A and B are shown apart, each in its own frame.
Chain A
Amino acid sequence: MKNLSFTKKLVANAFSIGVLCLAWILPMQHSFAVPAFARQTDQSCIACHAGGQFPELTPYGRLFKLTGYTIGERTTPVSVMGVVGASKMAKPDSVNSSLVNYQQPELSSPINKSLSFETASLFFAGKITDNIGGFAQITYDNFASPDSSGANTVGHSGADNMDIRYADQIVTPSSNLIYGLSLNNNPSVSDPWNTSWAWMNYVPYTGGKGSNAYIDATTPYPNNGLPGLVSGLNAYAFLNKTFYGELGFYRTANKFMSFMNSGHDAAPIKGSNPYWRVAYNKEWGPQNFMIGLSGMTGHPYDSSFGATWSDAASYYSVKSNGMDFQYQYLLDPHTITIQSVYQHQLTSPSSQDVMQNGNSPYGANIFRLKGSYVYMAKYGGSLAHFNQTGDFSMATTGNTYEVFYIPMQNIRVGLQLTNYSKLANIDNPRDANTIRLYGWFSY
């Protein structure tokens, strides 16, 4: 900061606080490449994103994230993104009928629709000081929730992922240490490989109502329960581009930190909830490999599970442990990325739940595997497999196939098909098979 005047420092830090204050409502979407970062470095998306696809990061992209998004020059920290799409489910009426029997919400109308505008995001992203940078995303979902009649949907805008970092890097002739802090509102969104929980729903994710919408819908707590409701401060270190460690604690994002939550003071979790991650990374030639472990112990209040009893102090215990890996081959014009994540989750019911329903602890296992190939950062395809089992009737298994075309780095069009062989208690899961055409743009 020697190069900045006091006024500039003040403006820079005021800006950092301003960025932190951008949060409203709605659950998380996923972040794509952020053009503001590209303008900051004046590089193409492919510098950070493998083959120009998202969210897979290149080794350079990981270091860009770990060093707090601070490489480059400060520039206009604003970007926009939009998604249009059309989708067709095989037999939505049949699926709805089964869902009603299973006491699940019926399909929302956008599952079967002609080409229409789905989502748009506004990003505030970029370098703030030599050591501080980040991004905050606000997303408008055109089909956010059913209207009062239940026949149509209404749109909402709300806070999306936020990740504000302080980072430093110590370089010697024989070692390299990156360390820092991440203030974020989604456990594991800080993951530098983008393979951990916050990203594992991507199989692949395109924004809007994907052909695999029910994968996310059946993913158990806390994967889709905590984002947007908590704030966490994580400390991390990456040594010699080989060993990675991260430890953070998440609390309800209320009071002073309520700017990071969905805009209300309802407390979803009790106290400080630890999140941890370790990973081993190896790079050789055009290839790199990572294997990692992660875990979180959460104490969500009963209300987070939809319980109606009034004991506000009663809470569940949810222990999640996972393993993930990634392999990449990156040598122009070829890009291959294989990602996988497995998570075991054990939920212990609250004392009230045990007393009133006699429920006992139950487990869930989630497995995701995705492989993708991109040629010339223009033509690509992916194959993804998802499998979820558990003590509750939540078994969900299937594949998503996708082909896409990136005519220029700001535009992507794709066609994806998701086949279900199991889907919760639906009698014929293939009725939910969905084909989807989408267009994505950013600036």
Chain B
Amino acid sequence: MRNISLSLALTVSIIVTACSSTTERSRTLGDPNVSGKTIAQQVCSTCHGVNGNSVSPQYPKLAGQSEEYIMAQLKSFENHLRTDRLAIEIMSGMSRDISVQQAKDIAEYFSSQTLIKDVKKTSVNTSKGKDIFENGILDRGITACVTCHGPEAKGQFAYPRLAGQHKEYLVKQLHVFKETQGRPNTPMEFVIKNLSEKEIDQVSTYLSTLD
């Protein structure tokens, strides 16, 4: 009898609790009643961090990223325009039924967060990377990054913020641009094609140290 009572109490309590839950802490995707901020905090944060500063360089920091860029990427994931491996295997599903309003809310949430960089500028040599970022390598057709990403690499228009991003993530994406068609419809495949492995590392190191 005691078993039955405990079990019934458990079942009833779970059902009652479930029915009384709200969308404020929902992890449901595809429901327009769930706010973009809730999705950001309950779902996106599992990889990107609740304040947009992801711990793992597998996933980019979104803190301080431009709203326009975040929204554009969500659209690219959803439409399978981005076909780099992790975009397809992880992000296309996350963004498949995000509404325009939710995407806007998510972008606004992360854009308003403060980025925390991984390394201090003084701990690594960044002179060569800085030179590539500011001046490019014109004799090999490599345009200066600053042209599109802004003087402090904080992004402008649809061009993303690069300052303070994980170095490993930047290296990975530069390889995606250089060696695959995984991120089409950007100038990057032309900008990057003559950049060497060492130079990719140098410019990524420099960018990761920026505030």
Contacts and interface: CB of A to CB of B under 8 A. Distances in A.
A254 B3 contact: yes
Contact of B21 (A42, A131, A171, A251): A131
Interface in B7-48: 7-8, 10-11, 14-15, 17-23, 25-31, 33-34, 41-43, 45-47
B32 to A, nearest CB: 8
Contacts of A16: 14-15, 18
Contact of A130 (B21, B94, B168): B21
A63 B56 CA distance: 15
Nearest to A52: B89
Contacts of A173: 50-51
A41 interface: yes
B96 interface: yes
A176 B47 CA distance: 13
B93 A43 contact: yes
Contacts of A286: 56-58, 168
A271 to B, nearest CB: 10
Interface stretch (A88-96, A135-143, A162-170, A347-355): A162-170
B58 A9 contact: no
Contact of B25 (A13, A72, A169, A284): A169
Contact of B20 (A1, A46, A67, A257): A1
A266 interface: no
B3 A332 contact: no
A285 B4 CA distance: 48
B179 interface: no
A42 B96 CA distance: 8
B55 interface: yes
A359 interface: no
Interface string A168-181: 11110100100001
B195 to A, nearest CB: 20
A132 B55 contact: no
Interface string B172-209: 10000000000000000000000000000000000000
B92 interface: yes
Contact of A71 (B11, B18, B43, B96): B43
B28 A3 contact: yes
B168 A233 contact: no
B3 A255 contact: yes
A146 to B, nearest CB: 34
Contacts of B8: 256
Interface in A232-261: 233, 251, 254-257
A132 B14 contact: yes
Contact of A257 (B7, B47, B55, B96): B7
Query: Which of the four size classes fits the interface of chain B?
Result: 35 or more
A176 B3 CA distance: 35
Interface string B88-99: 111011101100
Interface string A1-26: 11100000100110011000000000
Nearest to A333: B85
A283 B14 CA distance: 32
B86 interface: yes
Given A71-B27, A131-B17, A257-B3, A233 B10 contact: yes
B58 A41 contact: no
B8 to A, nearest CB: 7
Nearest to A409: B89
Q: Is the interface of B mostly helix, strand, loop or mixed?
A: helix
A16 B18 CA distance: 11
The prevalent SS among residues of A at the interface is mixed
Interface string B103-146: 00000000000000010000000000000000000000000000
A370 to B, nearest CB: 22
A129 interface: yes
A291 interface: no
Contact of B34 (A3, A9, A47, A59): A3
- Give the most central of A9, A168, A171, A284: most B CB within 10 Å: A171
A133 to B, nearest CB: 9
B22 A2 contact: yes
Contact of B28 (A44, A130, A256, A284): A130
A346 interface: no
Given A1-B19, A130-B21, A130-B23, A171 B42 contact: yes
Contact of A181 (B14, B23, B25, B85): B14
A73 B11 CA distance: 23
Given A130-B28, A332-B172, A256 B15 contact: no
Interface string A60-78: 1001100100111100000
Contacts of A213: none
Interface string A103-115: 0000000000000
A127 interface: yes
B4 A47 contact: no
B25 A1 contact: no
24 contacts: A1-B21, A1-B22, A2-B23, A13-B19, A42-B92, A42-B96, A43-B90, A43-B93, A71-B46, A73-B28, A127-B28, A130-B23, A130-B27, A131-B18, A169-B25, A171-B25, A181-B14, A251-B3, A256-B8, A284-B55, A285-B55, A331-B57, A332-B58, A332-B86
Given A47-B89, A60-B47, A73-B28, 10 more contacts: A1-B21, A13-B19, A42-B96, A43-B94, A59-B46, A64-B46, A71-B29, A130-B23, A130-B28, A131-B17
Interface of A: 1-3, 9, 12-13, 16-17, 41-44, 46-47, 59-60, 63-64, 67, 70-73, 127-132, 166, 168-171, 173, 176, 181, 183, 233, 251, 254-257, 283-286, 330-332
Closest 6 CB pairs of A and B: A42-B93, A44-B89, A3-B33, A256-B7, A43-B93, A73-B30
Interface of B: 3-4, 7-8, 10-11, 14-15, 17-23, 25-31, 33-34, 41-43, 45-47, 50-51, 55-58, 85-86, 88-90, 92-94, 96-97, 118, 168, 172
